[in-house]
């Protein structure tokens, strides 16, 4: 369990980051570096050295750092991403690279390497991915052969952040005992890096392939001094590292949205600014703010649990990253649309942000891998509890204050139970695509519950001290109500679509359709053992009442037009 940084120290760190990057990398410089595809290595080293010391927040106090927790790291990563996602990636790569040591190294290895990060500001890189082994770390081909005094490593790594600027690399290689992590130091014979990749986005980060040709690594550089522990050590950090990438998606999406909001305050069309036009705000701004804040709720809840010592929470980290990266990417896309033709041009930074934030849906686990991870874990929970896990979650959520949209969030969770049970009775998870779509629906349903809890905590004055407080409790409750409606409708409509869509096709004559064209409970019975009557589709549709008023309220808050009332 860790309390991490105190609030004052965290706030000072966030302010210092903003001031440092604004001075070192003004917008004109960011655009220039992006155009020329150059990583500002000197700036990265200054940030991770005595001048700023951001690295200290990620290193435990025992090894010379400040001992920041998962919550602190999320706040710092979000701020970094709002400044520049390429720079954020370069800074975070050191802590990703050192995580195998932090979670699997010996005391001496931690003192040696983490101590050097804290005291010297050395840069690390995480060498796991290979040309033929991306998200599947078990398919790696890089080998480490035991020799006298150590190991000889041969292989290639691909897409490595800080690949050619790091001072040390954590490299995953296959030993006779299984996958293992090794620390490879700069200057090792046989070790070289390729020229940086010419990337679509995050062009201010250094990404390069690594070549290991009979590289000798001394035995003391085997992480943990026991071979075969590499995949276990990697699994121990997925929840945390994916949470940090979730913060990247959150920060990038919010930065793009903020720029669209500012643009709409000045841009006049048909005699009025775009900010006054409901068609603009309710399509291009409000829905994305709602999804970003749903992701934030799940990020903060998961970070709090990690800091409380609940374990690695890999599935929760996957949900957080999935929600935030997809929401951030969509928000950045909408920000380009919100700027019209200007948004499609290089001088308007939203074009760069969109290219940058796109990577968050790919690195540290693609969205598709995350959907599979989420679905497999929660499917097992559904089976073990005989469907009680989401029914119990729905009951607990329904007990929250009504103005948080808790009843609608409970409908979403109840809907998940119905969809999962229909998949069980119909044996539909044999279809890989159904499993992936379940991952998406589960993420939305759990986020609806998380956001309702966050809104309830805000109303009761129980938010964590270090929580983001952009929205008042009443405004956050409105955000929660809007997302709960979306999640419930998504689960009802898309859940039914894929449950029915996975069944064998049959003729659908006019007699199979209701005369009123509706979809009451009887229309959700398939006759194939996969009834969806527990989905409560009619209740979910009825819960949409008041949606537009809540969207109006959120738009007013975003544009400082009115303060929301405490009632719903």
Catalytic site residues? 364
Tokens (6 digits) for 1: 């369990």
CA distances from 363 to 54, 249, 273 (A): 22, 11, 38
Q: Please, which residues have CB within 8 angstroms of residue 456's CB and are 6 or more apart in sequence?
A: 400, 401, 404, 406
d(CA 115, CA 165): 19
- Whole-number Å distance between alpha carbons of 34 and 198: 11
Supply 387's token pair.
């469907």
Paired residues of 191 in beta bridges: 212
Say if CB 336 and CB 288 are below 8 A apart.
no
Tokens 């469907």 sit on residue: 387
Give the closest residue to 179 by CA, choosing from 256, 88, 104: 104
Tell me which residue has tokens 């005094």. 149
Contacts of 50 (CB under 8 A, 6+ apart): 121
Q: What are the distances in angstroms from CA 478 to CA 441, 473, 564, 568?
A: 21, 9, 9, 7
Residues 6+ apart with CB under 8 A from 327: 249, 250, 253, 288, 291, 292, 294, 295
Burial class (CB in 10 A: 0-12, 13-18, 19+), 221: buried
3 state DSSP class of 172 = strand
C-alpha span between 423 and 316 (Å, rounded): 22
In angstroms, the CA 145 to CA 138 distance is 17
Number of continuous H segments (helices) and E segments (strands) in the chain: 19, 9
**147, β-bridge pairs:** 150
Name beta bridge partners: 126: 170
d(CA 130, CA 120): 29
How crowded is residue 551: how many other Cβ atoms within 10 Å of its Cβ?
Answer: 22
- The C-alpha atoms of residue 470 and residue 481 are separated, in whole angstroms, by 17
Token pair belonging to 222: 């085997």
Q: Hey, what are 425's tokens?
A: 């009775």
Alpha-carbon dihedral sign for residues 210, 211, 214, 215: negative
Q: Is 187 left (phi over 0), alpha (psi -120 to 50) or beta?
A: left
């Amino acid at each position: 369990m860790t309390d991490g940084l105190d609030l004052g120290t965290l706030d000072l760190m966030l302010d210092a980051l903003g001031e440092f990057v604004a001075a070192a990398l003004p917008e004109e410089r960011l655009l220039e570096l992006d155009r020329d595809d150059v990583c500002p290595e000197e700036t990265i080293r200054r940030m991770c050295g005595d001048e700023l010391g951001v690295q200290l927040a990620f290193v435990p106090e025992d090894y010379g750092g400040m001992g920041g927790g998962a919550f602190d790291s999320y706040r710092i990563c979000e701020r970094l991403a709002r400044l520049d996602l390429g720079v954020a990636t370069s800074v975070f790569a050191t802590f990703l690279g050192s995580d195998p040591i932090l979670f699997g190294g010996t005391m001496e290895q931690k003192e040696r390497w983490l101590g050097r990060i804290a005291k010297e500001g050395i840069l690390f890189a995480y060498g796991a991915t290979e040309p033929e082994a991306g998200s599947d770390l078990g398919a790696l081909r890089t080998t480490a052969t035991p020799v006298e005094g150590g190991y000889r490593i041969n292989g290639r790594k691909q897409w490595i952040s800080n690949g050619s600027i790091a001072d040390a690399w954590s490299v995953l290689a296959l030993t006779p005992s299984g996958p293992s992590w090794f620390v490879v130091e700069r200057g090792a014979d046989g070790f070289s890096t390729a020229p940086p990749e010419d990337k679509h986005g995050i062009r201010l980060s250094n990404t390069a392939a690594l070549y290991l040709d009979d590289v000798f690594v001394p035995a003391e550089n085997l992480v943990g001094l026991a071979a075969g522990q590499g995949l276990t050590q990697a699994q121990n950090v997925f929840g945390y590292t994916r949470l940090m990438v979730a913060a990247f998606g959150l920060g990038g999406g919010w930065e793009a949205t903020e720029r669209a909001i500012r643009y709409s305050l000045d841009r006049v069309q048909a005699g009025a600014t775009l900010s006054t036009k409901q068609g603009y705000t309710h399509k291009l701004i409000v829905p994305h703010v709602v999804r970003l804040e749903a992701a934030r709720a799940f990020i903060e809840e998961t970070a709090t649990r990690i800091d409380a010592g609940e374990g690695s929470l890999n599935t929760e980290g996957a949900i957080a990253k999935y929600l935030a990266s997809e929401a951030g990417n969509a928000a950045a896309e909408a920000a380009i649309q919100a700027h019209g033709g200007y948004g499609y041009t290089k001088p308007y930074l939203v074009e760069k942000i969109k290219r940058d934030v796109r990577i968050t849906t790919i690195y540290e686990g693609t969205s598709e891998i995350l959907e599979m991870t989420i679905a497999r874990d929660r499917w097992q929970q559904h089976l073990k509890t005989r469907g009680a896990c989401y029914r119990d979650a729905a009951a607990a959520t329904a007990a929250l204050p009504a103005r948080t949209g808790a009843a609608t969030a409970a409908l979403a969770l109840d809907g998940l139970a119905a969809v999962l049970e229909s998949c069980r009775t119909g044996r539909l998870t044999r279809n890989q695509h159904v499993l992936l779509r379940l991952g998406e629906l589960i993420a939305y349903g759990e986020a609806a519950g998380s956001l309702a809890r966050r809104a309830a905590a805000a109303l009761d004055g129980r938010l964590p001290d270090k929580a983001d407080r952009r929205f008042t409790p009443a405004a956050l409750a409105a955000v929660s109500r809007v997302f709960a409606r979306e999640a419930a409708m998504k689960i009802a409509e898309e859940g039914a679509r894929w449950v029915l869509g996975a069944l064998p096709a049959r003729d659908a004559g006019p007699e199979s359709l209701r005369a009123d064209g509706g979809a009451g409970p009887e229309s959700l019975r398939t006759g194939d053992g996969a009834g969806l009557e527990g989905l409560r589709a009619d209740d979910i549709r009825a819960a949409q009442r008041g949606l537009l008023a809540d969207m109006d309220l959120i738009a007013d808050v975003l544009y400082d037009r009115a303060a929301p009332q405490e009632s719903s």
